[in-house]
Amino acid sequence: MFTFKMKKIANTICASAIVASYLAMPMKSYADSNKKFKIYLSLSYSGNNWMSETANIIKALAKTPPYDKMIDLKEVISGTDPQAQISAYESMIDAGADAVISFPISPTALNRTIRKGCKAGVKFFMYDSTVTEPCAYNVSYISSGFGENTAQELVNLLGGKGKIFMVRGVPGTSVDKRHTDGAKNIFSKYPGIEIVSEYYGMWDDRISQQETAKALAAHPDVDGIWAELGEAGTLNAVKNHNDKMIPITGENMNGFRLAFLNHDYIKNGLKGVSSGSPPATAGYAFKLMMEILTGKRQQSPVSVEYPLPWATVDNIKLCQGGNINSQCNVFPQNMVPQGFSDEIYNETLLPEIDLRAALTGQPKDGAVITALPQELKIAPKEPGINCEKCSAPNDHYKVTMVSPFVK
């Protein structure tokens, strides 16, 4: 028995030493070998324009010099079942992946497999949605406060009272949880705000339109709507219900932003803000991944915060001819679908991306990969979002984009 225990201890020490020695090894560099980095793009939910855009942004960057000669990129779509994504991760680990860049379907269900991959030397980079496994890198905007800021804006627009709908996203994801928790924290402070219907639009403009139409049939006297991605369909349902518009806070779908340029909609009562999920987070995560893989950046696993987009009626600007830049934020109706998410470009973090890249996955003409700013904005620790055994800050749901002016 003693001999068995000693062998077990020795094996454990040996295994730990192997992992430690791997972690201490210098990063593989393209200059060291002609072998390409084996990168997997793992998508879960794939039923909307947003997810296609993120995949296209990653593909376009992988084809942009100098990475066009350095990467073997493979895409895998798993669907909304966590077990399917777990199986996909396991196959990638077994295939000898250098890194996995992924939209994870669950913040916790994938942790065990991610941990296994990290021990085998695979680096995991999550974009937009997050995981709580500490060996993974998270790049997301969700800790920057979409839920609480848009909720406060809606409260302000309604004068602190009214019946509202909450249009949620995909259940089980860290994104939907964080948005909803932040929004409800704000709404709970105002007794005059009544949530009369809460439903899932699945981040899809068509489903959001169908579900909002059902909610309007049951509650035709609704005063305002708080919506996650899919808000272009939510707006259509309101428009089709009657001529009266109401305040809507949503994300950055092109059809929703164009409504803020429609004078008839504004005259008939449309107010709101366009914020929410930037497809650009995928490009940011990809560039960070490659800087770490190529040894240009020494960075242990961390959660990085992408800035929260914020566009009101006053600062919606049309991009002429589809040429996106820091001065415009919506495209002509004939250039993109209504469900296209407009936040694809960032002058500092993602200048390599243009409209064609987001639509087709082809690189921007003449683009060359630029270095990210050396300093990363670290996201606060949030239990169940990007960490497990941690305490949230006291100002967890602090409103940063608008001032509460309703008592």
| Higher per-residue pLDDT: 190 or 10 | 190
**What separation in angstroms does the CA of 32 have from each of 120, 193, 304?**
21, 61, 29
Helix (H, G, I), strand (E, B) or coil at 51: helix
CATH superfamily of 16-141+279-306+349-360: Response regulator (3.40.50.2300)
Identify any residues that bridge with 168 across adjacent strands, giving them in sequence order: 200
Rg, C-alpha atoms of the chain? 22
Judge residue 17's burial from the number of C-beta atoms within 10 Å of its C-beta, 0-12 exposed, 13-18 middle, 19 or more buried. Answer: exposed
Q: How far apart are CA 129 and CA 93, in angstroms?
A: 21
Q: How far apart are CA 325 and CA 404, in angstroms?
A: 31
- Which stretch of 14-23, 53-62, 127-136, 385-394 has the lowest confidence by average pLDDT? 14-23
Per-residue HEC secondary structure of 364-376 comes to: CCCCCCCCCCCCC
CB 296 within 8 A of CB 71: no
Query: Which pair of structure tokens corresponds to residue 353?
Result: 């991306």
Residues 88-112: pLDDT tens digits? Answer: 999 999 999 999 999 999 999 999 9
Torsion angles phi and psi, residue 298, rounded to 5: -100, 110
**What separation in angstroms does the CA of 343 have from each of 130, 183, 261?**
19, 22, 17
Q: How confident is the model over 166-187, as a mean pLDDT?
A: 96
Q: Which helix (H) or strand (E) holds 240?
A: helix 231-241
Taking the CB of residue 248, how many other CB atoms lie within 10 A of it? 27
| Ranges for all domains in the chain classified under CATH 3.40.50.2300 | 16-141+279-306+349-360, 145-274
Residues 306-323: pLDDT tens digits? Answer: 999 999 988 999 999 888
Q: Give the predicted TM-score (pTM) of the model.
A: 0.90
Judge residue 18's burial from the number of C-beta atoms within 10 Å of its C-beta, 0-12 exposed, 13-18 middle, 19 or more buried. Answer: exposed
Residues 13-35: pLDDT tens digits? Answer: 333 333 333 333 344 444 445 78
Query: Which pair of structure tokens corresponds to residue 168?
Result: 């949620």
Query: Which pair of structure tokens corresponds to residue 162?
Result: 């009214």
Q: Which helix (H) or strand (E) holds 285?
A: helix 280-293
Q: How confident is the model over 172-199, as a mean pLDDT?
A: 97
Residues 197-251: pLDDT tens digits? Answer: 999 999 999 999 999 999 999 999 999 999 999 999 999 999 999 889 999 999 9
DSSP 127-143: ESS----TTSEEEESGG
371: left (phi > 0), else alpha (psi -120 to 50), else beta? beta
Confidence of residue 370 (pLDDT cuts 50, 70, 90): very high
**What separation in angstroms does the CA of 215 have from each of 67, 201, 358?**
48, 12, 33
What's the pLDDT score for residue 392? 87
Upstream peptide bond of 66 is cis (omega within 30 degrees of 0): yes
Query: Which pair of structure tokens corresponds to residue 271?
Result: 């107010």
Identify any residues that bridge with 274 across adjacent strands, giving them in sequence order: 250, 311
What's the pLDDT score for residue 10? 41
Question: Computed from CA positions of residues 87, 88, 91, 93, in that sequence, does the dihedral angle turn out positive or negative?
Answer: negative
Residue 141 DSSP class: S
What's the pLDDT score for residue 396? 87
CATH fold group of domain 145-274:
Rossmann fold (3.40.50)
Q: How confident is the model over 279-297, as a mean pLDDT?
A: 98
